[in-house]
A and B are shown apart, each in its own frame.
Chain A
Amino acid sequence: MTAKEAEAILGVEVEEVVAPETDEALADLVKNLAKEQRRFVVAGSGTKLRWGDLPKAPSVTVVQTTGLDQITDHDPANLTVSVQSGVRYAALQRALGEHGQWLPLDSPWGGDATLGGIVAAAACGPRRYGYGAPRDLVLGVRLVLPDGSQVHFGGKTVKNVAGYDVTKLLVGSYGTLGLLTEVTFRLRPLPQEERSLVLTFATPDSLDVAVEAVLRSPDPVVAVEALGTRATGLLRSEGAPVPDGAYLLALRLEGTRPVLQAAVDRLASDLGPEAVGGKAAVLESSDSAAFWNKIERLFYSGWQQAKAVLKLRGPVRNAVGVLAALEPVEAGLAWVGAGTGVGYLKIDSPEVDLVSLFREVRSVLGPLRARVDLLAADPAAKRELSQAGIPLWSVSDTLLARMRDVKKIFDPGNLLAPGRFVGGI
């Protein structure tokens, strides 16, 4: 990444981009930067550098972790792996795959994403429903604090309750507490097979009934994604096997062949025309994987160019309601994890008035107890919102006060990614 590229995303002057190759070099670098009171932003490969607010500093140094690219300890028998934070997602999955294992986490923003970045942004995709979010998969971390000291929390075992679970604080902290140098994950054996069931429904009500049936079933469903009408239309027009119908429900199942066969048959009939009115397409293994790749490509990969992407967080019971409530927002493509309550609204057109759109979305989702954050956007869009006095993240003032205190413990000089996170942290 060049300083120019980083500047375009961060919206402030970037003094330089440095990529140390060892933990020690990183710690030294941080110590020196801190001595000069220089502010810095950590970056991996940059797939999510657009996430979060603009740094509140006239200029920053970007510390890039891509030089820390070693898998430090893969322990196949114990289903754990420790990686340096700059290891790329695709490279890790390739190495694990040779042992029949994987890190059960999607990276819809691309295989180039570094694991440090994924963890710092708590990024995950549709299979969060089946396997959990980064917070559920990270067992331990090593990091460099802004004063240059190197510390660790957690460890290499799944169960570990020694002291406070500081690891949880680091996951999703957007690089505002420390620079992750190593992360340890729990792994899973690769599933033997996968299938997908793609269903469409005429109305949000029938979609909702179908989702309820899925959430009540003990079948090995690992992703439950519901798409609004525009997203459904886009997927169909791009050649995905989508039956006709306005709303789409995509289920991904993983397991052994007999189990998948039984589950898919049952779901197809429980949710089908006679029962709930869904029209179904069943996708066998490679078609199934191709379908999800298409979802990633169409909905996640263009975030670097999109005007803005809003993150929606609400109770699982209202996920389909959120989708329905966003139908009138014509500028956006909407999809939600119907079993996780987390969804996105992607705005592509540069002409959209983001301020009024944001207000509209917040007000239609309020009654559904769902909250909205501006996740990724270009610097101009972020400025538009802050000039209108709209905070990018929805978080209560009281929680925010405690988070500010937490930040002070780790980074008393406010050198690390200042202003990038909730409430200007």
Chain B
Amino acid sequence: MALDRKLEKQLRKIVGKRNVLTLPEQLTVYGYDASLDRGQPDAVVLVDSTEQVAQIVRLATASGVPYVARGSGTSLSGGPVPARGGLVLEMSRMARVEEIDPRDRSAVVQAGIFNLKIGEALKPYGFTYAPDPASQKVSTIGGNVAENAGGPHCLKYGVTSHHVLGVEVVWPDGTVEWLGQDGEEAGYDLLGLLIGSEGTLGVVTRVKVKIVPLPEAVKTMLAVFDSLTDAADAVSEIIGEGILPATLEMMDRTTIQVVEDSMAVGYPRDAEAVLVIEVDGPAAGIQVEADAVAEICKRHRARELRVARDDAERDRLWAGRRGAYGAMTRIQPSTMVADGTVPRTKLPYVLKRVAEIADKYGLTVGNLLHAGDGNLHPNIVFDASNPEEKERALKASFEILEVCVEVGGTISGEHGIGLEKRNAMRLLFNERELELMRQLKHVFDPQDLCNPDKIFPVA
């Protein structure tokens, strides 16, 4: 579908000539995210203010043209892919920190700011924004809100929904509204509904985030195991013992090797699993907590425990974890990452089943886990240009989700449903439940133009 000339002119009038992209080579870039899904927008609009977003949404609504907000396109579920063409609202120019108020324990930022930039702006105040998706260097707070992003530190501190106090939103009817600007709203928790709605209920333009004091002390350690099950059992026992570390991240042998090949951070190549564990909090308690964690790891036959002595060593331990997904993508042209979440005691069983599924389909799978949260990311590496291989990868990925549901878990812990997992929604919800969700979408977006075709099963 080509862009209507009149519409194009109006768009250029709103945001300025240069801020509307329509050349095919420009559009292609905005057709995808970090998943396998592809689309093609008719125009990309680089927006710079709430007022501009509102005008564009009104225009799109009046013209019956679909639109989708886009942060950095790091979504792993097809979220920002313009499934039906139309407009992409590119948010990256809206990246300002507008207010930092430690007295209020809050900060107000524009939606296009990178997650990490918020933390950087808060650091001089002795504060931070807790949710830290591994993509935090580039993913935007708007994208984080839309996906209800998690991250390693969410084990202790909670996910995006626990840290967003309010949002300014442009609803699909083009009106602008703040939810939670001055504290809690009365009535139904529409803010809660909006978070994690994958950009399908409106465009978020500002976010009021909760800020928390930086912890007094941090200890980061690497625990090395010769058995995946031992590592998973250690995770369960740490939590079961009443210890709440800031992170409990896990990588399996395949992932370790890929990480070492690509960045040599010093993980032992022959280990079956490593845990990146961080404890943080008041200085007076940190050693006791670290010791207790170490003790449990030893009890579960950890063959080595390495405690970072300084920031450089800590950064190196983390570089491996944060870079692991990127490293996976380097060994094969394509990766597909599953995002199931299960009660954490079920991890050993689920990981065994994942290995069986990988064998059955002849695929390489590297596991990367937010283990403390029971959130597993099996990365299936394959060649998407080979249709037969892609088919196998898709089947394997679906079977992994089935296993997660079978043990009482869910099909997505943090990446969202998007286009990729739409048809897996039936594993969790019956028709009546899906119908209620569809009706909710209709309440906010009666014309079905705001990031359409996402979340709901098509077949």
**A residues touching B (Cβ–Cβ < 8 Å)?**
75-80, 100, 132, 135-136, 145, 149, 151-153, 155-166, 168-169, 171-173, 177, 188-190, 212, 215-220, 255-256, 258-259, 261-263, 313-317, 339, 341-342, 369-371, 373, 393-396, 398-400, 402-403, 405-407, 409-410, 421-423, 425
Contacts and interface: CB of A to CB of B under 8 A. Distances in A.
B72 interface: no
A324 to B, nearest CB: 15
Contacts of B421: 162
Contacts of A259: 281-282, 284-285
Nearest to B455: A163
B239 interface: yes
Contacts of A256: 285, 288
A136 B187 contact: no
B105 A215 contact: yes
Interface in B57-88: none
B405 to A, nearest CB: 9
A169 B342 CA distance: 24
B35 interface: no
B106 A160 contact: no
Nearest to A188: B244
B184 interface: yes
B197 interface: yes
Contacts of A172: 188-189
Nearest to A190: B242
B285 A164 contact: no
A217 B127 CA distance: 10
**CB-based closest 9 A-B pairs:** A168-B192, A189-B242, A159-B413, A317-B104, A259-B285, A262-B284, A218-B213, A422-B187, A341-B183
Interface of B: 101-106, 126, 147-148, 150, 154, 158-159, 161-162, 175, 177, 179, 182-193, 195-197, 212-216, 236, 239-244, 281-285, 288, 341-345, 370, 373-375, 408-417, 421, 425, 428-430, 432-434, 436-437, 439-441, 443-444, 455
A257 B179 CA distance: 40
A187 B370 CA distance: 18
Given A164-B197, A164-B440, A409-B436, 9 more contacts: A79-B239, A157-B373, A157-B413, A162-B412, A165-B161, A165-B197, A169-B188, A258-B284, A409-B440
B432 A164 contact: no
Contact of B437 (A75, A132, A166, A173): A166
Contact of B433 (A79, A136, A152, A212): A152
Given A163-B425, A256-B288, A422 B409 contact: no
A162 B158 contact: no
B240 to A, nearest CB: 5
B415 to A, nearest CB: 7
A247 B351 CA distance: 56
Nearest to B182: A369
Contacts of B161: 136, 165, 168
Contact of B414 (A159, A169, A215, A220): A159
Given A80-B343, A341-B183, A398-B175, A162 B105 contact: no
A155 B408 contact: yes
A178 to B, nearest CB: 10
Interface hub of B101, B191, B373, B410 (most chain A Cβ within 10 A):
B410
A341 B104 CA distance: 9
